[in-house]
């Protein structure tokens, strides 16, 4: 039963979407971090420029620094977001020479600024601040004491700039996702086009069209196309075999029916009761042959078209062989032959099988041997128990079969080149079907100096070892 489990387009789209979403999430995180870093660098550069501008404006008068904060310095660190700005000029002892806020500069920050320009984050009156400090030597001034200049501002401008940069990155990313989605849709249509062409080609085929496919497919569909070709080939062979089987069956049934019609017509034209009796005998014999042929045809059709052989049960092959042989030994057909059974193992020989089918197999093997060997021939059946398998064999000392015909004996209506018997040529075809149904291997070979041997090898059930 075919169960529809989504579509390839949906699966491809979901996998691609998951991949794009994962990569997109990483890209968005990177974009956010990059925007934050870019805003930090930009505003840190402004703080550094403001500190340099204030340092250039420091003058000395009467040995004391005179600090006049230039307007340009405040304009550098002030932005359109109306941030609060901070500046402070500290002497060598850390005392403020000039400051606009009471924001305390920690000693460790001053020590760090004495070594190199430094940046610090601080919190003042509930607002986060970004501070920059650096120390300037007083070379060329009247005193040698250094001064430290600290500038800073709140973070509104930084956050606004990073948000704008991130927003632009998100906008570009969404545009790229839309374009990628469109391209992905077009790519899936192009990639799945060979599958659509193959589907349309199969839909346009007639029910009896078993020709090989004529299509150009990518490598990924090559195995599917080859599998379909193999399926068509098997169906073509099966159809041809069915047609041959039907034609052969019709021909085989036509011959005895024609004999029945001829015998009955001759009897109707005669007034002699003895002629009627002879005609009735011929009709009876012909009806028996036709009935046997019809039964074999039904058995072969049943074996070939009833495919459920999964419910195999343990069968004692030795006991079944003994019962079948005793049944056939009482028939008139076996009266002119030496039909015997080789010594069987002492304990049961269990194989997985269907009793009715195995009985049919044994019956056809015995019937085939009786009909294709001359009177007085010796026919022997037996079992050989091996470690993992059981070998069933039947052998006779009849004329055998031409080596060129051995490989065709399993085909329906194949008589091994013999037309002098009443056999229908279906016995070994039935044997072949039953053997395949049970997963058994079988072979036919001529004996020396003459005769025929048929061997079937069945899988033995574990624990069914025979001493």
Concatenating the DSSP letter of every residue in 342-407 gives PPPPSS--EEEE-HHHHHHHHHHHHHHHHHSS-TT-EEEEEEEE-SSEEEEEEEE-S----GGGGG
* Segment 155-208, tens digit of pLDDT: 888 888 888 888 988 898 888 888 888 888 888 788 778 888 888 888 888 877
| Long-range residue pairs from 67-70, CB within 8 A, at least 24 positions apart, any chain | 67/97, 67/98, 69/98, 69/100
For the chain, domains (ranges, CATH) are 9-163 (3.30.450.20), 219-304 (1.10.287.130), 310-459 (3.30.565.10)
Task: Report d(CA 252, CA 414) in Å as an integer.
Answer: 12
Task: Report d(CA 198, CA 213) in Å as an integer.
Answer: 9
Concatenating the DSSP letter of every residue in 413-443 gives T--TT--SS---S-HHHHHHHHHHHTT-EEE
- Say whether pLDDT at 93 is over 90: no
Check residue 122 and give left, alpha or beta (phi > 0: left; psi -120 to 50: alpha). Answer: beta
Task: Report d(CA 359, CA 324) in Å as an integer.
Answer: 7
Q: What does the pLDDT read at residue 403?
A: 86
Tokens describing residue 309: 């052989």
Residue 146: burial class (beta carbons within 10 Å; 0-12, 13-18, 19+): middle
Least Cα distance to 84 among 116, 122, 30, 56 occurs for 122
Q: How confident is the model at residue 85 (pLDDT cuts 50, 70, 90)?
A: confident
- Say whether pLDDT at 14 is over 90: no
Strands (E) in 67-185, as ranges, are 85-90, 96-99, 118-124, 127-136, 147-154
- Say whether pLDDT at 460 is over 50: yes
The residue-averaged pLDDT of 382-408 equals: 88
Residues whose CB falls within 8 Å of the CB of residue 145, separated by 6 or more in sequence, listed in order: 91, 92, 138
Least Cα distance to 52 among 182, 149, 167, 161 occurs for 149
Average pLDDT, the chain: 81
Q: What does the pLDDT read at residue 194?
A: 82
Q: What does the pLDDT read at residue 467?
A: 39
* Segment 399-452, tens digit of pLDDT: 888 888 888 887 766 665 555 555 566 778 888 888 888 889 999 999 988 899
- Say whether pLDDT at 286 is over 50: yes
Q: Which of residues 311 and 94 earns the better pLDDT score?
A: 94
| Share in percent of the chain as helix, strand, coil (round to 5) | 55, 20, 30
Residues whose CB falls within 8 Å of the CB of residue 239, separated by 6 or more in sequence, listed in order: 208, 210
Task: Report d(CA 93, CA 69) in Å as an integer.
Answer: 21
Contact 393, 384 (CB under 8 A): yes
Token look-up 């990073």 returns 162
* Segment 325-334, tens digit of pLDDT: 999 988 888 8
The residue-averaged pLDDT of 357-385 equals: 90
Buried b (16+ CB within 10 A) or exposed e, 379-394: bbbbbebeeeebbbbb
Q: Which of residues 462 and 110 earns the better pLDDT score?
A: 110
Stretch among 42-46, 134-138, 303-307, 354-358 having the lowest mean pLDDT = 303-307
Q: Which of residues 265 and 447 earns the better pLDDT score?
A: 447
Stretch among 5-9, 257-261, 336-340, 382-386 having the lowest mean pLDDT = 5-9
Strands (E) in 169-271, as ranges, are none
Concatenating the DSSP letter of every residue in 73-91 gives HHHHH--TT---EEEEEE-
Residue 114: cis peptide before it, omega within 30 degrees of 0? no
Strands 147-154 vs 127-136: parallel, antiparallel or unpaired: antiparallel
Least Cα distance to 98 among 140, 46, 54, 43 occurs for 54
Q: What does the pLDDT read at residue 269?
A: 80
Token look-up 């009156």 returns 125
What is the percentage of the chain residues whose pLDDT exceeds 90? 16
Task: Report d(CA 155, CA 85) in Å as an integer.
Answer: 10
- Say whether pLDDT at 335 is over 80: yes
Q: How confident is the model at residue 466 (pLDDT cuts 50, 70, 90)?
A: very low
- Say whether pLDDT at 72 is over 60: yes
């Amino acid at each position: 039963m075919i169960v529809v489990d989504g579509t390839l387009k949906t699966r491809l789209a979901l996998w691609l979407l998951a991949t794009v979403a994962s990569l997109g999430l990483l890209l968005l995180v990177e974009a956010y971090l990059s925007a934050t870093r870019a805003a930090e660098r930009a505003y840190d550069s402004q703080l550094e420029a403001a500190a340099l501008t204030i340092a250039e404006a420091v003058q000395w008068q009467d040995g004391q620094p005179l600090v006049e904060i230039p307007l340009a310095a405040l304009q550098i660190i002030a932005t359109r977001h109306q941030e609060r700005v901070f500046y402070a000029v500290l002497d060598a002892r850390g005392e403020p020479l000039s400051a606009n806020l009471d924001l305390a500069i920690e000693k460790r920050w001053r020590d760090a600024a004495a070594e190199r320009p430094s940046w610090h984050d601080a919190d003042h009156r509930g607002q986060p601040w970004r501070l920059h400090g650096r120390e300037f030597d007083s070379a060329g001034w009247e005193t040698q004491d250094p001064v430290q200049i600290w500038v800073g501002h709140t973070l509104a401008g930084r956050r606004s700039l990073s948000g704008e940069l991130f927003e632009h990155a998100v906008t570009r990313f969404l545009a790229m996702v839309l374009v990628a989605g469109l391209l992905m849709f077009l790519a899936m249509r192009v990639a799945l086009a060979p599958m659509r062409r193959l589907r349309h080609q199969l839909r346009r085929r007639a029910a009896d069209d078993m020709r090989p496919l004529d299509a150009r497919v990518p490598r990924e569909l090559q195995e599917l196309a080859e599998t379909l070709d193999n399926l068509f080939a098997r169906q073509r062979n099966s159809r041809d075999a069915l047609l041959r089987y039907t034609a052969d069956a019709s021909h085989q049934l036509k011959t005895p029916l024609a004999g029945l019609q001829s015998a009955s017509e001759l009897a109707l034209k005669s007034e002699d009761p003895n002629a009627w009796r002879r005609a009735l005998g011929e009709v009876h014999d012909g009806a028996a042959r036709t009935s046997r042929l019809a039964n074999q045809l039904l058995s072969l059709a049943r074996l070939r078209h009833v495919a459920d052989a999964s419910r195999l049960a343990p069968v004692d092959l030795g006991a079944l062989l003994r019962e079948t042989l005793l049944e056939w030994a009482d028939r008139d057909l076996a009266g002119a032959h030496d039909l015997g059974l080789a010594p069987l193992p002492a304990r049961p020989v269990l194989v997985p099988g269907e009793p009715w089918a195995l009985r049919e197999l044994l019956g056809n093997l015995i019937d085939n041997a009786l009909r294709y060997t001359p009177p007085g021939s010796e026919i022997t059946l037996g079992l050989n128990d091996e470690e993992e398998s059981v070998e069933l064999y039947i052998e006779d000392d009849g004329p055998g079969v031409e080596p060129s015909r051995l490989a065709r004996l399993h085909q329906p209506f194949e008589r091994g080149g013999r037309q002098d018997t009443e056999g229908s040529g279906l016995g070994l075809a039935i044997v072949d079907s039953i053997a395949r149904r049970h997963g058994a291997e079988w072979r036919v070979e001529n004996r020396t100096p003459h005769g025929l041997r048929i061997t079937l090898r069945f899988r033995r059930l574990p624990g069914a070892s025979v001493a």
